Chain A
Amino acid sequence: MEEYSKKLMDHFMNPRNVGEIKDADGIGEVGNPRCGDIMRIYIKVKENRITNIKFLTFGCGAAVATSSMVTELVKGKTLEEALKVTNQEVADSLDGLPPIKMHCSNLAEQALKAAIEDYRKKHTKQ
């Protein structure tokens, strides 16, 4: 099998921001249609900024590492900035993914978007 980068293995073995946020402002969950994995992202938002973010992932090494990386990339960012993060960026930040694992990084991007959407849905009324 093609090898994972050192950086990816670091994020897999020591994932950042694992867990749940009990009083999250937004939660996004997506399933991977290709291999059946599941990723869930929790965000805490203050003045339009992601102040805290956590994830839970049921998936391969690349899925765990991309979840970890996406949480690092967007922590402290405004929602607009966070929405601009693409799966390619996540992959690049991990020094690349084996081609067969690119679909796992979609999951990270989509879970983040779903969490932001969820937040907006819940908070547009006030």
Chain B
Amino acid sequence: MDIYFDNSATTQINKEVLEEMMPYLTDIYGNPSSIYSLGRRAKKGIDLARKRIASSLNCNINEIFFTNSGTESDNWAIKGVALANKKRGRHIITTSIEHHAVLNTCKYLETEGFEVTYLPVKKNGVVDIDSLKKEIREDTVLISVMYANNEIGTIQPIKEIAKITHEKGIYFHTDAVQAVGNIDIDLKDLDVDLLTYSGHKINGPKGIGVLYIKQGTKITNLLHGGEQEKGKRAGTENVPGIIGIGKATELATEGIKQKAIYLENLRDKCINGIMENIPDTILNGDPVNRLPGNINVCFKYIEGESILLMLDQLGIAASSGSACTSASLEPSHVLLAIGLPHEIAHGSLRLSFSKENNEKEIEYLLTVLPNIVENLRRMSPLK
């Protein structure tokens, strides 16, 4: 059996998306900046993708910019706004549970004379609005808070934070890589200034990202060069990728409410099955206010990589925040930020579902997981 429960890491490309991309990988290879028909056809493809995204997320077409990745969008949003507004102030606020693309960008800016406040989160992973308000200073120019956490799935009160930041005239960026396609997003209503997401998390291709930049936002370029993307993001466009993320965004936002209900059902069935059948298990994140397809649990006394290896032997792909699974040999900063001790974070398991998953797969997991945990516990010196 091949079961893929790691959709927060990346997703399978949708067939319709691939089909729309194919001509742009083969026949329509022209440079969109060129004047002749082959170039114009490529340009038309980009225009269509931008239109699809703008209508899916409810914004203007001139507010959508294509990048190479979620990471590039995060970098651009944060460095771009920080640099463009540094005369006004050099203070940035973010959270301690951001993706590394945000955290390490902020750390870099600290070496360049910016000050960054990393907000703590509550035990359920939600940002404390009061402490956010308290940290706002005269010289705060940017606040960046992720929409939904990639590890524990907690959803942040983005609309509320947007309101607060705007009352103070501060720019607000949200990393929505995990949110787009899972949560209904209406940019006019949400009212953030910048929003990041990427193609491969929504059944689109890898190597393509989007940065939404609200009209009037003061931001400098990250990449300098040609006049692509209205002179804001140089580099010949990744046309097939753009076509792909355009179609993928359209598909991912269609029927999003029904999809969320489907995923929530799978998720809750699986959570209940785990909690009922495996003692000494902790559910991380918020029980309700979480991504529809996200599960994150810690099994006490055992280690995550071992769990993943045993699952893999049975054909199940999942992930963990254990120190042993990371190249840095540090446990997940998110699990530490919600107050878990190192040895508990060690036994973490994340399962992330997509609409491709079904109940049968969950049932199979629930038949094998208790044994895996028990076997590893038998080997453990803790207890």
Contacts and interface: CB of A to CB of B under 8 A. Distances in A.
Contact of A18 (B301, B324, B379): B379
Contacts, number: 64
A19 B377 CA distance: 11
B329 A34 contact: yes
B327 to A, nearest CB: 7
B229 interface: no
Q: Interface residue tally of chain B, by bracket?
A: 20 to 34
A126 to B, nearest CB: 29
B379 A64 contact: yes
B324 A58 contact: no
Contacts of B342: 36
Contact of B381 (A13, A34, A38, A100): A38
Interface residues of A, number: 26
B381 A56 contact: yes
Given A35-B324, A36-B323, A38-B382, A58 B313 contact: no
Contacts of A40: 381
B346 interface: yes
A84 B380 CA distance: 26
A26 to B, nearest CB: 15
B28 to A, nearest CB: 37
A117 B306 CA distance: 29
Interface string B306-332: 100110010000000011110101010
Contacts of A60: 303, 305-306, 322, 324-325
A76 interface: no
Given A34-B323, A35-B323, A64-B379, 17 more contacts: A12-B306, A35-B324, A35-B329, A36-B323, A36-B342, A36-B346, A39-B381, A57-B381, A58-B346, A58-B381, A58-B382, A59-B306, A60-B303, A60-B322, A61-B305, A61-B306, A61-B309
